[in-house]
Amino acid sequence: MDGELSGDALAIVWLSYNVHGNESVSSEAAMATLYDLANPSDSRTQPWLTNTIVILDPMINPDGRDRYVNWYNQAVGSTNNVNPDAQEHSEPGPGGRTNHYNFDLNRDWSWLTQKETRARIRVYNDWMPHVHVDFHEQSVNSPYYFAPAAKPLHAVITDWQIEFQTIIGRNHARYFDRNGWLYFTKQQFDLFYPGYGDTFPMYNGAIGMTYEQGGGGRAGLGILTAEADTLTLADRIAHHYTTGLSTVEMASVHRDRVIDEFKAYFDRANSNEGGEFSSYVIKSYPEDGRTDAMALHLEALGIRVGTVTAGRRASGFSYRSGDDAAFRVTPGDLVISAHQPRSTLLNVLFEPISAITDSITYDITAWALPYAYDVEAFATSARIEPDAAFVQTEGIVSAAPGSPYAYLIRWKDVSDAKFLSAILREKIKVRYAEKAFEIGGVAYEAGTLIVTRTGNEKFGETLGSVLSDLAQRYRQSLAAVSTGFVDSGADFGSGDVHYIKRPKVAVLRGNGGDWASSGQIWHFFEQQIGFPVTMMTPDRFKSIDLSDYDVIVLPEASYSELLNEDGLKRLISWVKSGGRLIAVGRAASFFMGKKEFALKKKPSEKEDEDDDDDGEDDDNDASPASDTLKVYGERDRDRQTERNQGAIYKVSVDNTHPLAFGFKKESFVLKQGTTAPAYLGGSGSWNIGILKKESLVSGQVGFEVIDKIEESLAFGVQEMGSGTIVYLIDNPLFRGFWYSGQLLMANAVFLVGQ
Ligand SMILES: [Zn+2]
């Protein structure tokens, strides 16, 4: 190999291994693959490398793999045992699939919530591979899966991408046939949700593929399959090694076409061919961190974001209202042109209605970022190009004449909660205004944080500089005022201005096998807002004095064992004496219908089986007769009719309650599943977020459950004794990407019940 780069472009193949840490064959297969590629006397691989670059990421998820390998080495004996009953085949929770915070990195590609993803995407954007493979493992008894992928395919996926998947798949099949290895294609693994290691490359012009070997965390060094064959680690390595090299081979053989098609893809992207909209505009508001957060997110993905230097009138689809509307583009607004190289990814992340081609998918079916960030966003048919770069907001400290009486911080989004967290960590005393007020001719919304000199005497003259240092560091705005006498609203000494006691927070961890949801909460506290939290095992939870904690967060899990009659009694008495309970998702549903809890099922549930009297001629198959005579071959599809894998709903918000400070009158939730409680009743119960009729915005919801979900509670608060219970029916921290959900959680932790 002469190693010299010629003038010809090279194909780039990127092979990613071990995103799921307990799918342990991947990193081993990476070594075998690397060995052949790096061997100068390998007559098969060396010719490929004259026109193809191969990038190997041997271990996307080092923490998860480490967890798996450490456990396995403790569980295995001096000789491994292929009996599936042996302990080495039963990996304990949380298992090695996920990363440190139990995030599935193969759901995070577009969201960049995890540092592994952020680091990887930076390098990915530098290289922009033509072909990307994500190596996985599936169950022991499923032999091997490779592309072409199953439906649904996102509508933006091109014929060429599927064609080349098929070319590669046929080449794999050639090797597998020769060895007599079993495999399947075109089933199960779809291409829709943008957080995967196959879809993300697809939406960036590459041929993205998932390969699945049978085995995974159960397989160890060897295991008996259902057919009484022994599946060994060596077998698994051989298969992934074979498909890895076969992929490189095909990229090399078809180098010219691969490069031409890639170039054509980006030419089309630059002219936004097939794009529904030409530009997107995100309105920016002073001191509201969400537009900055969104711009930084998009830029990290490689999407160009800018703004305009002069205002202009425009019209387009309003994500907030769901209708076309006229609006004004003003300097500072984010302007994102769809005429840019990454327009496919951009359009996928901004589609008002998900473009799904088939209804069977095992993931959420809507994700559009304008809803997740809860911004005022418009999609326009007219092309609006930015003429200035996006610039991140600096911290602004505005001084008052004389000696400041207090400092004010607006409460707009989770970046303010991060600032509050820093203030509390500095042991600065802080309050929040329950009502909007005006001072010195400036209006402040409910939720505004107030730091008075009174109470913070220990800082003396340094209070201002400590606060402004924090404001600079966290890029927040701080206004100094010289009086506590407001023009309208409540003065700072009023009972409507609440002291924020620094809460001591415990989060239940690992209860009933819950790791994902508690991991999201853990990540929220540690990485997103930087506030100390105690992650607590169920055993510890049972034995401690709950009154040591102000806030307890119950993640999504099953609670029937932990909160048995005694456990529940103990929890209720803690709430009554002032505890603040936050129940997320299934934790909230656990309380549904239980004595003393305001959360109830809707009375109509289970009663409206079939007969709708809307006069429409709907010969649907929901009637009992056709249910009995359902078609076996359609069973996967039929199940979808009563499911909601994840769809976006509009939520009507009572933003006079602290749980919704920073929210507008309408916001959005990502709803998964079909739990849809009645509105809370009784005194001391508040319906803060509700789903009204026809509130489905985007995504697939089975027609049998659409009615059930409407007119239900999304989030609410029950006052119980001196304490509170916050019900969050839909997990606001799901996969960490629903930006406005973080504000909801922050409100629950810091403001509610104070
Ligand atoms: Zn996997």
How far, in Å, is the centroid of ligand 1 from the Cα of 734?
19
Ligand 1: centre distance to CA 399 (Å): 54
Q: Is the pLDDT of residue 624 over 60?
A: no
Query: Is pLDDT of 639 > 80?
Result: no
Cα 106 to ligand 1 centre (Å): 8
pLDDT of 189 > 80? The answer is no
**Residue 536 in contact with residue 509, Cβ under 8 Å?**
yes
**616 has a pLDDT exceeding 70:** no
Contact 718, 688 (CB under 8 A): no
For residues 551-578, give the mean pLDDT: 97
For 258-311, how does the pLDDT look when each residue is reduced to its tens digit (9 = 90+)?
999 999 999 999 999 989 999 999 999 988 999 999 999 999 999 999 999 999
- Determine the pLDDT at residue 403: 79
Tell how far the Cα of 330 is from the centroid of ligand 1, in angstroms: 45
What value does the mean pLDDT take over residues 745-753? Answer: 98
Q: What is the mean pLDDT of residues 126-136?
A: 98
Q: How confident is the model at residue 610 (pLDDT cuts 50, 70, 90)?
A: very low
| Distance of CA 23 from the midpoint of ligand 1 (Å) | 6
Q: What spacing in Å lies between the alpha carbon of 104 and ligand 1's midpoint?
A: 9
- pLDDT, tens digit, for every residue of 433-448? 999 999 999 999 999 9
The pLDDT, as a whole number, for residue 398 is 83
Name the E strands within 489-542. Answer: 497-499, 505-508, 534-536
- The predicted-structure confidence for 448-492, as pLDDT tens digits, reads as follows 999 999 999 999 989 999 999 999 999 999 999 999 999 999 999
163 Cβ neighbours under 8 A, 6+ residues apart: none
Banded model confidence at residue 603, pLDDT cuts 50, 70, 90: confident
* Cα 362 to averaged position of ligand 1 atoms, centre (Å): 14
- Distance (Å) from CA 197 to ligand 1 centroid: 10
Cα–ligand 1 centroid distance for 177 (angstroms): 24
Distance between alpha carbon 723 and the CA centroid of its chain, in Å? 31
H or E, element range at 211:
strand 207-214
Q: How far is the CA of 383 from the centre of ligand 1 (A)?
A: 41
Tell me: pLDDT of 552 over 70. yes
Q: How far is the CA of 198 from the centre of ligand 1 (A)?
A: 12
- Calpha distance 520→503 (Å, rounded): 19
Q: Is 575 helix (H, G, I), strand (E, B) or coil?
A: helix
Q: What angle do CA 216, 217, 223 make, to 5 degrees?
A: 75
Burial of 7 (0-12, 13-18, 19+ CB in 10 A): exposed
Q: What are the tens digits of pLDDT across the range 683-716?
A: 999 999 999 999 999 998 988 899 999 999 999 9
Ligand 1 midpoint to CA 24 (Å): 10
53-106 tens-digit pLDDT: 999 999 999 999 999 999 999 999 999 999 999 999 999 999 999 999 999 999
Q: What is the model's pLDDT at position 618?
A: 39
> How far, in Å, from the CA of 541 to the mean position of ligand 1?
33
Cα-to-centroid distance, 595 and ligand 1 (Å):
42
Place of tokens 């004259």: 50
pLDDT at 119: 98
Q: pLDDT at position 156, please?
A: 92
pLDDT higher than threshold 50 for residue 622? no
Expressed in angstroms and rounded, the spacing between residue 377 Cα and the centre of ligand 1 is: 35
| Per-residue pLDDT at 547 | 97
- What is the Cα–Cα distance from 475 to 137, expressed in whole angstroms? 43
Among residues 654, 559, 648, the alpha carbon closest in space to that of 597 is found at: 559
Question: How many A from CA of 138 to the centre of ligand 1?
Answer: 7
- pLDDT tens figures, 377-435: 999 999 999 999 999 998 888 876 677 999 999 999 999 999 999 999 999 999 999 99
**Average pLDDT score over the chain:** 93
* Overall pTM > 0.85: yes
Q: Distances in Å between the alpha carbon of 4 and those of 250, 505, 515, 552?
A: 21, 59, 49, 62
219 touches 140 (CB < 8 A)? yes
pLDDT digits (tens, 9 = 90+) for 654-685: 999 999 999 999 999 999 999 999 999 999 99
Torsions phi, psi of 735, nearest 5? 55, 10
37 CA from centroid of ligand 1 (Å): 24
Between the CA of 517 and the centroid of ligand 1 the distance, in Å, is 19
- Between the CA of 232 and the centroid of ligand 1 the distance, in Å, is 18
- State how far the alpha carbon of 179 is from the alpha carbons of 138, 183, 232, in Å: 20, 11, 16
pLDDT in tens, 1-33: 445 555 789 999 999 999 999 999 999 999 999
Tell how far the Cα of 523 is from the centroid of ligand 1, in angstroms. Answer: 22
409 CA from centroid of ligand 1 (Å): 44
